[in-house]
Amino acid sequence: MDDFHKTRRLPPYVFEQVNRLKAKARAGGADIIDMGMGNPDLPTPKHIVEKLTETVQNPRTHRYSASKGIPGLRRAQAAYYGRRFGVKLDPEAQVVATLGSKEGFANMAQAITAPGDVVLVPNPSYPIHAFGFLMAGGALRSIPAEPGPEVFEALERAVIHSIPKPIAVVLCYPANPTAYCADLEFYRDVVAFARKHEIFVLSDLAYSEIYFGDTPPPSILQVPGAMDVAVEFTSLSKTFSMPGWRMGFAVGNARLIGALARVKSYLDYGAFTPIQVAASAALNGPEDCIVEMRETYRKRRDVLVDAFARAGWAIPAPEASMFAWAPIPEQFQKFGSLEFSKLLIEKADLAVAPGIGFGEHGEGFVRIGLVENEQRIRQAARNLRRFFETSSIGHNSGTE
């Protein structure tokens, strides 16, 4: 495998080291509390499952589906954008259904990247944001993950010094893994920059419905002129607890959407039709399940921040997303995020994601997913307290 050009461009998958240790611990009988992967544990709402089971009874739905998504599903996504963001989309030219936002990003990279093309990617960031372009033959240049003046300073430097000039910039807010949030003013500045320099913007909005304040995260497509340069990716995985269903969308600039649709037409026949029909029912259906999901994650966030602080680990409360971006406690910083993550499995029966797996600027942090119930989060805190109190490293950690 190491001899193949594309796999050679990929760095070692650091999460695999944690996963192997986790599997070994479980095989030995350990009760590992797994908060490492962003894998929603909440059940898919009943009305969506019922639509799937109803549709799958029709043998005609077992045939090949539509690569870009069945018309009803694309209309449902366009209607969602109209309700939620006030953005008007043409379901035929500006909406493509994807096999989750991850596949959408990877195939967009295949569609628009020539060998050596430069793409600007936040660091730290969700791995596919970077490695989708690496596998497509592109070159990466990092920009800060936190929205602010430093982002635009980095963008300006990239335009001046990158040869060739960057073709695209990736954004992700609410951010995975950092939980940073962007406002509409930030997006306005990004769109103005992108239009001025003729650069595309690829926005990942997978966590649009998981927010804990009064202001819902905006879409970049709300900015006038954004449709000239931007495509946005969304997913039903988190919004409706449908991660294994693999259903997402790319919407926006018709030229980019057309390129993505063309690549996909060669690579897949789209998701299983009953899944697409059920996804349409999700988007067109009641939203009380979204409110309930959001409240569940908010309660888990509050329990995590409170219980871990009592155990001796102060973690900033995220404003959105299903993750906490947690600085490694001072007494363990010398280990780095990967070794600290391994220590937590061995000594506290707790699995988290090492920050280094999201880019070199993720070092010094771990990502903690809100994917265990409140009781299990409190158990994790008790495990942590015991570890901190008995560890020779963490003996003077300030635990209560």
| Distance between CA atoms of residues 111 and 98, nearest Å | 14
Residue 36 has pLDDT above 50, yes or no: yes
- At 340, list the tokens: 């600290």
| Distance between CA atoms of residues 18 and 345, nearest Å | 8
Q: Quick one: pLDDT at residue 2?
A: 61
pLDDT band with cut points at 50, 70 and 90 for residue 15:
confident
pLDDT band with cut points at 50, 70 and 90 for residue 366:
very high
- At 149, list the tokens: 């003046």
Query: What strands lie across the sheet with 365-369, from one edge to the other?
Result: 323-327, 365-369, 353-354
- Residue-averaged pLDDT of the chain: 94
Residue 150 has pLDDT above 80, yes or no: yes
Residue showing tokens 């963008």 = 155
Number of other CB atoms surrounding residue 271 within 10 Å: 26
Residue 77 has pLDDT above 80, yes or no: yes
Q: What is the pTM assigned to this prediction?
A: 0.93
Residue 116 has pLDDT above 90, yes or no: yes
pLDDT tens for each residue of 174-226: 999 999 999 999 999 999 999 999 999 999 999 999 999 999 999 999 999 99
Residue 109, helix vs strand vs coil: helix
pLDDT tens for each residue of 249-298: 999 999 999 999 999 999 999 999 999 999 999 999 999 999 999 999 99
Pick from 230, 212, 224, 274: nearest CA to 72: 274
Q: Quick one: pLDDT at residue 325?
A: 98
Q: Quick one: pLDDT at residue 395?
A: 46
User: Which has more confidence, 321 or 1?
Assistant: 321
For residues 111, 257, 245, 1, the Cα torsion angle rounded to the nearest 10 degrees is 0
- How distant, in Å, are the alpha carbons of 271, 286, 334 from that of 249? 12, 20, 41
| Distance between CA atoms of residues 271 and 117, nearest Å | 30
How far is Cα of residue 137 from the mean position of the Cα atoms in its chain? Answer: 22
Angle at 190 between CA 369 and CA 239, to 5 degrees: 30
| Distance between CA atoms of residues 365 and 145, nearest Å | 14
